[in-house]
Amino acid sequence: MTDVLNAIVLITNFVLVPGFTYGSQLALGALGITMIYSVLRFSNFAHGEMMSFGAMITILITWWMQSHGISFGVLPTALLALPFGILATIILVLTADKMVFKYYRSIKAPPVTLLIVSMGLMFFLGGLIRFIIGPNDQRFFDGERFIIKARSFKQMTGLNEGLAIKTTQGITVVLAVAMVAFVFWFLTYTRTGKSMRAYSNNEDLALLSGINPERVVLVTWVITAVLITLAGTLYGLDKSYKPFTYLSLLLPIFASAIVGGIGSPIGAILGGFVIAFSELFVTFAYKRVLGYLLPEQMEPDGLMQLLSTDYKIALSFVILVLVLIIRPTGIAGGKTL
């Protein structure tokens, strides 16, 4: 019996907890991609850099707060700085929309043009971020590190395996759930949310019924900016902030959005968790789990890993490619292009 419990704790510690955290981060990012896609109808390649921008502003404000002795007790100070980061990101995306994207909307440019334009914006923001904060790793976490420590868990339960939950992991999941709940409430019950869905469903019909397209676009960017900043900051808080990682994060996020079905909010969340868990489950070394579950003489020699950890990120692309071939509309049946 203890063997089974040990095996469960082992998997919880190394797969389930990190999976829920990483999945929430991906889901927030993918929800943003999907919102932009369904209302503005293009794939935003600048999404990763926008996340990076939001996180950067939050970091700068956090540092300022820390230097003035402001702290949030056991919670990281970054949470106090987050509203300012969100505000700055809202200003950024609205400026970008006005200066860059609006023109292409007005001439009804094909989605590919907008995609390439967003690539230009990606370059620009990437440069701006590195110019302001530099290309290196930045640490901005403070407060209590763990909710449950591995050692105290062992003492508490008397098991061999420990379970550790970091504060950042807890915060990530709580904030992500709250934000996702808010977005769904907004889309389903408010007038503006309904008009957004109508606009995304059938633009002409929405225009005929008197929906103001610029207002829909504005609200979409604002919500996306909140999602973007949350995703970027939580990722930076949990792992570490480095401008470069946000460009490589773009692909798993796109993968999540497409796997779930682009244009479908619920799909984006599903997709995020599918990608996160498959990355972790496939690259997890099952040696110790099997060691607990199997009789002693059958214990395996190798690591019992399906794929080496080096391929962790590549796996999300493999899933993406598979979904694109087998079911291009994604799990939840979004739009096909």
Partner 1 sequence: MSSRMRIFSVFFVMAALLVIVGMYQSWNVAFSILNLCVISSIMALGVNVQWGYAGLVNFGVMGFVAVGGLAGVIVSMPPVEAAWAAGGVQLMGGFAVMGLVILAATIFWKKTAHLKNTPGKRYLGMALIIILGYALYRFIADPAIDAIEAVEPAMTGYLGGLGLPILFSWIVGAIAAGLIAMLIGRIALGLRSDYLAIATLGISEIIIYVIKNEDWMARGVKNVNGLPRPVPYELDLQKEAWVNSLADSMNYSVINTSSLIVKISYLMLFVAVLIGLFILAEKALRSPWGRMMRAIRDNEVAAEAMGKDVKSRHLQIFIIGSAVLGLAGAMLTTLDGQFTPASYQPLRYTFLIWVMVIVGGSGNNYGSIIGGFIIWFFWIEAEPLGLWLIEFLTSGMSADSALKAHLLESAAHTRLMTMGLIMMLVLRFAPKGLIPEAKR
Binding residues for partner 1 restricted to 290-319, rule: CB under 8 A: 308, 310-311, 313-314, 317-318
Which of residues 178, 324, 327, 333 is near partner 1 by CB under 8 A?
324
Alpha-helical runs (H) found in the chain? 2-11, 17-40, 47-67, 78-96, 102-106, 111-133, 150-157, 167-189, 191-201, 203-208, 213-238, 243-260, 265-283, 287-293, 312-326
**Site residues for partner 1, window 46-105 (CB under 8 A)?**
100, 103
SS3 139: coil
- Residue 146 carries which DSSP code? E
From the list 9, 39, 219, 255, which residue makes contact with partner 1 (rule: CB under 8 A)?
Answer: 255
Residue carrying the six token digits 């796997």: 259
Write down the least CB distance from residue 117 to partner 1, Å. 5
Write down the least CB distance from residue 163 to partner 1, Å.
31
Q: What dihedral angle (degrees, nearest 10) is formed by the CA atoms of 286, 289, 291, 295?
A: -120
Contact 59/241 with Cβ under 8 angstroms?
Answer: yes
Binder to partner 1 among 70, 91, 98, 113 (CB under 8 A)?
Answer: 113
Query: Which one of residues 122, 234, 274, 289 is an interface residue with partner 1 (CB under 8 A)?
Result: 122
d(CA 85, CA 88): 5
Nearer to partner 1 by Cβ, of 167 and 256: the residue is 256
Number of residues that bind partner 1 (CB under 8 A): 45
Q: Which of 121, 180, 223, 289 binds partner 1 (CB under 8 A)?
A: 121
**In the Cβ-directed half-sphere of 98, how many Cα atoms lie within 13 Å?**
8
112: contact with partner 1 by CB under 8 A = yes
Q: What is the DSSP string of 189-209?
A: HSHHHHHHHHHHH-HHHHHHT
Check residue 135 for interaction with partner 1 (CB under 8 A): yes
Under the rule (CB under 8 A), what is the footprint of partner 1?
42-43, 100, 103, 110-113, 115-117, 119-128, 130-132, 134-135, 247, 251, 254-255, 258, 308, 310-311, 313-314, 317-318, 320-321, 324-325, 328, 336-337
